[in-house]
Structure formats: structure tokens, C-alpha cells
Amino acid sequence: MPWSLDLVPLPPCALLGGPPLSGLLWTVLLLFLWYCYRVGSDPPSHSGMLKSGSGRSSFSRSSSRSPVDPRHSAPKASAAITMETVEEEEGTESYLTPVLSHAPFPTEAAAESRKLYRALQEYAKRYSWAGMGRIHKGLRTFLNICARINDRPSIQKPHLFYLPDVPSIPFFPRDAHRHDIEVLEASYPIIIAEFQAVYQRGIDTKLGWSYQGPKGQTVFPLYNAGVCVASNCRACPCTYRTLLSLRTFISSNSLGSAGFWLLGPGATLGGAYGPTNTRLRCHLGLQTPAQCELVVGGEPQCWSEGHCLLVDDSFLHTISHNGGAEDGPRVIFSVDLWHPNVAAAERQALDYVFAPEK
């Protein structure tokens, strides 16, 4: 509706020919009303929703550099980026800052790092960048050979992928994965029975066993780096079904494994780091001699038969079996579960980025 001065009633001072000062005030009032009308009628600017000038310029660059595919919902992705940026508190860096920057991946980065980064780009093209801020940041700052890896405490150094801003401790309480722990512990009798059946057939690579690390440690895998070992699963059908009933088992990418781990008497596994901080290893004790010990991040723990330990193996850890030959091997059923602080969208993206075929 056009603005009309006829609709605004004149004040008494104007009708009676007031002093010039009153006319000046009336002019200022009209200008103020006109300004309010223009502000209220203009549509809000998307770039104005971002908090900093750098954020606005980054968003503009991303819009100009990235061609829009009509098959994908580009406007929705832009809205998601805007909303997540607004929710960040003043003075803090948004998880999406590296996404919005679109800085080129360093040419001197390792080939494997570039491969994983391209996989994330493919995933975002198919789905969305929404929720990918931490993964994007982790790939750029951790896998890059120029990243300041030594800035992180030496007690936790996953060697393959580090997800930033994930709170972690060496041993997690049962409540972190109560459902899956209760399922595994309830299945303890059938799991140990199926282990004893395959163990009595003999430890041989032709029978599905493999040797891991130093002499004295062997593994009967049901899942190996995200791939189901079909012959071993057929040998342990109830244990396999138990795995499938778990809510947080990592079964679709190379970060996840499950199987029976044996450590012979006198064997020690030196200090090592797991590949990632996005998972927890759940150890169900099957045969646990008294002289066995697990030290993670400087904290010692002992296994207990029929009970689970939740371990973040991205911390420096050592395993030892100081018992004698009469004690037999230490046996655990190990299952890799998602870290409870990894969101569902991030899990789906990691399944894609670390898919076994990639």
C-alpha cells in the first residue's frame, strides 16, 4: 500500500501555523515513520543472519563456486547451514566454519587423507552438509599430514581418524550402552559355548583363525573391518544373531569389528593406539585368569567372566597375561560400538566415508 501524507493527521501546531521548530519536529517524525515502514516491508537477508563478516563472505563464496544440481535440495542445505551458525554462542567457532570456508584441501596431504575427504564430498553431494561440521573439521585438521597432531595430548592419538570435540575417558560406565551390554551379558552362556566349540576344533588359519600382533594373540573374527566373515558366523549362529540385535554395533564400515580374542600366558601387547575415537570397544570376559590386566590411559582394569568393559582404545593401552601355562589363555568377546557422543547423522556419514570398499 503506497504511503500517503493525507492519511496522517496534522498536529495542532501545523494547523495553526506553529513556529519553525515545530515544523522541523514534524519533518523528523515523518522521516522516522517512513524508515519504520521500509524496515518492516523489506525481506530479511540470509547473509545478515550470520554473525560475522567472515561468515557472510564465506557463504557468498560457497554460493558462487558450487553449481546447483536441480536434483538436490540446495536451498534446504543453505537454510540448515544458516540455522546451525546462528545457534553458536558469540566468541566461539562454529562446527560449520570449515565447511563454509571452502578452502582447498592441502596438496601435500597424504593420498589416503585426500581419498577420505573426497568420499565426504560425495556423501554431502548425495545427502547434505548438515551435521557434517565435526567430520569435515576432523578430516582437514587431523588426517592432513601438516596438522598439528602433536598439539593433542599423547595419551590419546588415534592413528586413522579423530573426531573433534568428542568428550572421552579411558573406561566408560555401563550406562553409556546399557541395552547392548545387558544383551551381551545375558547371552554369555551361549557365546562361551559356541567359542568352546570352535576352540576345540583347533587354532588354524584354515579354520578361520588369524594371528594379530605379537606371538600369543589370535583372533576368531565374526566381523573384520566392517565385513562379515560368513564361515565364522555360520560356526557361531547364536553369537551372530546376538550381534545383529545390538543397537550400536559398528557393522557397516572398516572401523568396526567383532570376534573372539585370545592372549596366551606370558604375552604382552605394548603401548598402542586404536584407529579412531568414534568407537568404544566392548569386552565381554569369557575366560579371565587372575594375572591378566588391561591398562588404558594409565588406568588399570581387570576383566571379569560374564561381564563387560567399555574401553576407548584410542587412548594409549597395554594388555598383559602374566599367568602360567596352567592358567590357559585369556579369552574375551570384543565388539566395537559407536561412541555415545557421535550423532546419528555423523554415524551415517562415517559408514559412507569408511565403507570397506572405499
- List % helix, strand, coil for the chain (3-state, nearest 5): 40, 20, 40
pLDDT-derived band at 47, boundaries 50, 70, 90: very low
pLDDT-derived band at 37, boundaries 50, 70, 90: low
Q: Which residue has the higher pLDDT, 118 or 92?
A: 118
CA distance 284 to 303: 8
pLDDT-derived band at 70, boundaries 50, 70, 90: very low
Return the closest-CA partner of residue 115 out of 144, 93, 84, 95. Answer: 144
CA distance 352 to 123: 7
Domain extent listing, the chain = 171-354
Segment 318-326 mean pLDDT: 91
Q: What is the pLDDT of residues 156-179, one digit of tens each?
A: 888 889 999 999 999 999 999 999
Torsion of CA 344, 229, 302, 215, to 10 degrees: -130
Q: What is the pLDDT of residue 110?
A: 61
Q: Give the phi and the psi of residue 23 in degrees, each rounded to 5.
A: -65, -40
Q: For all residues of the chain together, what is the average pLDDT?
A: 77
Return the closest-CA partner of residue 292 out of 321, 327, 262. Answer: 321
Q: What is the pLDDT of residue 33?
A: 78
Is the per-residue pLDDT at 35 higher than 80? Answer: no
Is the per-residue pLDDT at 278 higher than 50? Answer: yes
Q: What is the pLDDT of residue 142?
A: 63
Topology at the third CATH level for domain 171-354 = Jelly Rolls (2.60.120)
The x, y and z cell numbers of residue 88, run together, are: 553458536
pTM: 0.70
Q: Is-contact 272 281, C-beta < 8 A?
A: no
Segment 235-242 mean pLDDT: 98
Percent of the residues in the chain that have a pLDDT greater than 90, as a whole number: 51
Is the per-residue pLDDT at 59 higher than 50? Answer: no
The dihedral sign for the CA sequence 181, 187, 191, 193: positive
Q: Which residue has the higher pLDDT, 11 or 114?
A: 114
- How far does CA 61 lie from the centroid of its chain? 27
- DSSP calls for 302-328: ---TT-EEEE-TTB-EEEEE---GGG-
pLDDT-derived band at 235, boundaries 50, 70, 90: very high
Is residue 143 classed exposed, middle or buried when 0-12, 13-18 and 19+ CB atoms within 10 A define those classes? buried
Q: What angle in degrees, to the nearest 10, is found between the helix axes of 133-141 and 344-353? A: 40
Is the per-residue pLDDT at 263 higher than 60? Answer: yes
CA distance 293 to 324: 14
pLDDT-derived band at 215, boundaries 50, 70, 90: low
Q: What is the pLDDT of residue 31?
A: 82
Q: Is-contact 331 321, C-beta < 8 A?
A: no
The counts of H helices and E strands in the chain are 12, 12
Q: Is-contact 261 303, C-beta < 8 A?
A: no
Q: Measured between alpha carbons, how far is residue 199 from residues 12, 170, 261 in Å?
A: 103, 31, 11
**Strand pairing of 299-301 and 308-311?**
unpaired
Please give the single-letter amino acid code of residue 134.
Answer: R
Lowest mean pLDDT among 89-93, 106-110, 250-254: 89-93
Segment 302-310 mean pLDDT: 96
Lowest mean pLDDT among 106-120, 232-246, 308-322, 331-345: 106-120
Q: What is the pLDDT of residue 173?
A: 96
